[in-house]
A and B are shown apart, each in its own frame.
Chain A
């Protein structure tokens, strides 16, 4: 047997180059994560203060906090999730339980997946056209609707995926006992897929809590504390956007503090969602 030492060495060499590159790729990703999080912690922590949660956004040069932005963000996100989740869950249920392999279901699935990745700024333009223009002014409601349009596709996708995983035997057993289909879906299938559906909702909240682009021309912003959904409303991302691009140093500080709050919320939500997922498995 002839062993070509040169060929062998070359193959070994290219293999180690390739392994090195793969490891470098993974490090590349991790380094950015560390770079971003450390900058956020360094800049954000120094800006944290009790005032953040008790005062509204200040004019430049004066002390202030983010109370109006926090309340606006929470209010709009909660409303969007509360209104969007049922629609998403029902549509997901339709796809998994009724539509299945029909042409109509295929179209809905396809359109939903497009909406899931469509630029959120375009969805914001859509709400601007159908809500802000007829109303004549920016409003919290327009903000809620634009976030809702983002929540629905996320919930549709995850709830369909989770419902499909429920074993058919469970449904058949319930049907064999004489339960009507709607009863089976609500009391058996939904129950079995509960953890997965909650994961989807958590991911949807995480997704919208940092969403900025569609809020810019729906809810706009508001310098004062307001819970009036018919008036423009502040939100953390919109304040971060405005303050970070301003020339004032103390506004930059507030923007960093807001960024830290948003990121912490999102990361806690996504890690929580993942833990829930793991438990299910």
Chain B
């Protein structure tokens, strides 16, 4: 395109040449426009390709088990009997545990960074927290298995089991031998991984709260706590929930870290300290070893279910965050 720069030759060109140059530029423009459009369509193709290929791959299992796949706990590769319930349950319960820990702590970190932290420390601490998100999943896995689980087993699980022994409901939640690995450990490690997502989004939406609102509340004599709880949080509610949903989407699909520390048992236990499995851990562990067609198809079916759940959660998160953005833009 540089040839259309205003050179002397161009300036003196006769009308026909100029028309030709304009046409060529127009064609170049159209080509470029088309290229970018094609790239955008590639994104759509990947997305629809994921859905279509999963449905096709899962089809034998869908035909064999139908909807009862979701409610069946059978897992017997030798008899070709498969059910997704233990994995789905494990996925949901580890996500719930991780959210229970990560949401309050993530919001706490965001409050600390926006309101309490000395300005000088704000950046380094913010970056350090975000580095937690940068550490690859598999590193959490190997650390969780060799370092965290043994420590957790000795210093946390045993005391909790001893302390809650005999208490009706809580006792059974924390019953059984302390394995170190298990559903609770997996949930806890996921919570560390998603913490930065929650605190980053929350921090961003906190910063959209008009300073005037906060100053007015401080001017009335509110304490920091009252300003945050009664002014900032209600204002930023949609964004905070959106951020939490985004993190939930990550938690649901978390694979490698979970595979290392959950114990991979196709069982549903009342105790949170017992080993279990999640959809992604089951796929990661068993997919390359799936011997029969129905076996691998069942695993793909679970992948489809996982994709569907995360799609719903992430779509809700998107819509909420978009709404928050528009709200901030309108101000």
Contacts and interface: CB of A to CB of B under 8 A. Distances in A.
Interface stretch (B73-81, B266-274, B306-314): B306-314
A35 B252 CA distance: 24
Interface in B34-54: 35-40, 42-44, 46-47, 49-50, 53-54
Where chain B touches its partner, the secondary structure class is helix
Contacts of A105: 40
5 contacts: A90-B36, A121-B283, A122-B50, A212-B138, A259-B142
Contact of A130 (B26, B39, B49): B49
Given A25-B112, A259-B139, 11 more contacts: A11-B226, A18-B228, A19-B224, A36-B143, A98-B36, A117-B246, A128-B287, A129-B56, A149-B46, A186-B32, A213-B255
Contacts of B136: 209-212, 237, 262-263, 266
Given A11-B223, A180-B28, A263 B135 contact: yes
Contacts of B107: 25
Given A11-B226, A114-B318, A121-B255, A33 B131 contact: yes
Contacts of A212: 136-138, 255-256
Interface in A19-34: 19, 21-26, 28-30, 32-33
Interface stretch (B64-72, B121-129, B158-166, B211-219): B121-129
B134 A183 contact: no
A128 B35 CA distance: 27
Interface string A254-278: 0110010011001100110010000
B142 A256 contact: yes
A24 B108 contact: yes
Nearest to A126: B50
Given A18-B224, A19-B224, A95-B40, A182 B29 contact: yes
**8 tightest CB-CB pairs across the interface, nearest first?**
A210-B136, A119-B253, A25-B108, A90-B39, A182-B32, A94-B36, A15-B223, A18-B225
B138 A19 contact: no
B43 A33 contact: no
Interface string A69-98: 000000000000000001111110111011
A178 interface: yes
Contact of B44 (A40, A111, A186, A266): A111
Q: How large is the interface on B (under 10, 10 to 19, 20 to 34, 35 or more residues)?
A: 35 or more
A28 B311 CA distance: 30
Contacts of B54: 122, 125-126, 129
A191 interface: no
A225 to B, nearest CB: 21
A22 B40 contact: no
B29 A180 contact: yes
A25 B138 contact: no
Contact of B288 (A123, A126, A182, A216): A216
A240 B142 CA distance: 8
B36 A15 contact: no
Contacts of B141: 241, 244
B50 A29 contact: no
Nearest to B221: A11
B326 interface: no
Contacts of A55: none
A142 interface: no
Given A94-B37, A244-B260, A262-B139, A186 B46 contact: no
A152 interface: yes
A51 interface: no
Interface residues of A, number: 96
Contacts of A108: 40, 43-44
Given A15-B226, A119-B252, A122-B306, A252 B112 contact: no
Interface in B301-331: 303, 306-307, 310-311, 314-315, 318
B232 interface: no
Contacts of A23: 112, 116
A40 B139 contact: yes
A183 to B, nearest CB: 4
A33 B108 contact: no
B116 A178 contact: no
Interface string A95-116: 1011100001101101111110
Nearest to B254: A119
Nearest to A31: B192
B44 to A, nearest CB: 6
A135 interface: no
A180 B108 contact: no
A98 B37 contact: yes
A152 B6 CA distance: 37
Contacts of B307: 118-119, 122
A117 B134 contact: no
Contact of A33 (B29, B36, B132): B132
A125 B300 contact: yes
Contacts of A43: 146-147
Contact of A259 (B6, B111, B138, B318): B138
B119 interface: no
Contacts of B129: 26, 29-30, 33
